[in-house]
Amino acid sequence: MPNVLLTTRCNLSCKYCFAQEKLTGKRMHMPMENVHEVIEFLKRSEYPIFRVMGGEPTLHPNFIEIIHLALAEGMRVDVLSNATWSESCSDLFSRISPTRLLFLLNIDHPDNYAAGIWEQIQSNLEKLKGRQGVTLSFNVFEKQPRSDYILEIAKRYGFDNIRLSLSLPVYKAENAFLPIEELHEVTPFVMDFVEKAESLRISVQFDNAVPLCIFTEEQAGKLLLHGVLDLKRNLRCEPIIDISPDLTIFSCFCLSQLANRNLNEFKTLEEAKKFFVQVWSVYQDAVYPLEKCHDCFYREKWGCQGGCLTYAISKDNGQRYEQLQTDAEDIVFKSENNLALADDVILMRYDVPSETYILRNTATGVEFELNHNLQPILPFLDGTRNNDELVQCFVGGEYGASSLQNFMHNVAAESLSSVFSEMLQQGFLKQVAR
Ligand SMILES: C[S@@+](CC[C@H](N)C(=O)[O-])C[C@H]1O[C@@H](n2cnc3c(N)ncnc32)[C@H](O)[C@@H]1O
Ligand code: SF4
Ligand code: SF4
């Protein structure tokens, strides 16, 4: 689910917070023109939920106007907040139906607040008492989590959902979380917490990727049957897409130090997600944080990726990602370089029902169907000509004038250089410096 980071300001400083690094830099509220752009983007993506977070989203000076705007655009609004908002926010919230406004409220242990804040939170929660669509968020970042207060709050104010997050690590930043090797130490807490919550008719759901092996089969079975764990939701990371105030986007907070893009580079959410899936594919199902993952039945059967992907990326110190950047440099099409067929590429010809040429990269197994009009160019791809020279020899010189006609008619608007560029990116061509 994409999150709109309305602001990088926060009035608290939770130890485990994965946004910390973004909060300490230059503080910024999302300008209204960017709010409009994000709404347009989400609507274009046919994603009707405006999920605000931050920092603390209710600190945005135009928070109320933004909520009105998103609702007027027909969207549902989800507010992720620390529940310290002002009176005017409470007044607005009380006027919006629970079908159009949902809350995920992150409430820390009472000892962790400065004087007056806990009272403010309680007063705000009192105004939401019994409201549908309120989930509380509880983060597990220490081995002996202090959690009784969250169950008391849920009971007192009639909230019947708690989201349980194993605090996620942030790549190359510091926040409180448990190393993957120690996560099994919180298993007794999790089982006990779920039991207490269920006795109060409060349902608990795990958020994010959880290593299955921290549970015995009996424990995992119980958590699955009770809906606390879900094999789709809790074994693998999917790009969330966090949208920053300046429209920088990242896959999730944990990996925000590695790959960033701008919202304008993508037409839809799906496109942005595909981009990040591609980036992280160098780790997902390729690098695991624990030795035992390699022989693991849960990995083979259910695709457990070894908890949050940051564990695997940190293990490799981000090297695969760096390599990906270097490789990406090599596949940036530079028209001055000569072009040659890549080393492991072979050509296969088929003629039923019509002439078809397939380039096969024998190293990767990937195939590329070549427009049959372009087949005569292959002998010229020997590393002695650059793009312009290849085009020249195709439309006149070495390959013959009649090809120009063929080229114009059959390949039509298809530009030869864009075909070269695509072949290069897919590993069918290599560039040779002149
Ligand atoms: C970063 S906060 C921002 C919105 C608001 N200030 C709040 O605290 O809810 C959004 C959500 O991220 C969750 N969160 C923060 N740090 C986390 C971590 N290290 N791992 C998993 N979830 C985390 C919080 O529990 C909260 O529900
Ligand atoms: S979790 Fe929310 S309230 Fe806590 S520091 Fe992070 S942004 Fe602020
Ligand atoms: S893949 Fe790794 S983290 Fe997941 S259950 Fe198996 S051993 Fe545990």
Question: Residue 413 has what pLDDT?
Answer: 44
- Cβ of residue 283 lying under 6 Å from some atom of ligand 1: no
User: How many angstroms separate the CA atoms of 165 and 234, rounded?
Assistant: 10
Q: Which amino acid is at 311?
A: Y
- Are the C-beta atoms of residues 83 and 124 closer than 8 Å to each other? yes
Residue with tokens 């002695």: 384
User: How many angstroms separate the CA atoms of 281 and 430, rounded?
Assistant: 22
User: How many angstroms separate the CA atoms of 306 and 166, rounded?
Assistant: 13
| Encoded tokens for 26 | 């230059």
CA-to-CA separations, 162 to 139, 149, 433, in angstroms, rounded:
10, 12, 59
User: How many angstroms separate the CA atoms of 12 and 84, rounded?
Assistant: 9
Q: List, chain by chain if needed, residues with CB within 6 Å of any ligand 3 atom.
A: 211-213, 288, 290, 292-293, 296, 298-299, 304, 306-307
Q: pTM of this prediction?
A: 0.81
> What totals of helices (H) and strands (E) does the chain contain, helices first?
15, 16
- Are the C-beta atoms of residues 180 and 306 closer than 8 Å to each other? yes
Of 242, 269, 265, 236, nearest in space to 254 by CA: 242
For residue 363, the surrounding DSSP H or E stretch is: none
The residues near 91 (Cβ < 8 Å, ≥ 6 apart) are none
Q: Domains in the chain, start-ordered, CATH in brackets?
A: 3-273 (3.20.20.70), 332-432 (3.90.930)
142, burial (CB in 10 Å: exposed 0-12, middle 13-18, buried 19+): middle
Q: Closest residue (by CA) to atom 26 of ligand 1? A: 106
- Centre of ligand 2 from the C-alpha of residue 224, in Å: 29
- Centre of ligand 1 from the C-alpha of residue 81, in Å: 8
- Centre of ligand 1 from the C-alpha of residue 6, in Å: 14
What are the residue ranges in the chain where pLDDT is below 70? 328-333, 364, 395-415, 425-426
Question: Which of 292, 305, 310 should be mutated for ligand 3, with most atoms under 8 A from CB?
Answer: 292
Question: Residue 332 has what pLDDT?
Answer: 63
User: Quick one: which atom of ligand 3 is closest to the CA of 290?
Assistant: 2
The residues near 167 (Cβ < 8 Å, ≥ 6 apart) are 16, 18, 139, 140, 141, 175, 176, 177, 178
Question: Residue 145 has what pLDDT?
Answer: 97
Of 403, 385, 384, 383, nearest in space to 395 by CA: 403
- Centre of ligand 3 from the C-alpha of residue 91, in Å: 47
CB neighbours of residue 363 within 10 Å: 11
Question: Residue 144 has what pLDDT?
Answer: 95
- Centre of ligand 1 from the C-alpha of residue 418, in Å: 44
- Are the C-beta atoms of residues 337 and 433 closer than 8 Å to each other? yes
339, burial (CB in 10 Å: exposed 0-12, middle 13-18, buried 19+): buried
| Encoded tokens for 434 | 């002149």
- Cβ of residue 167 lying under 6 Å from some atom of ligand 1: yes
User: Quick one: which atom of ligand 2 is closest to the CA of 18?
Assistant: 6
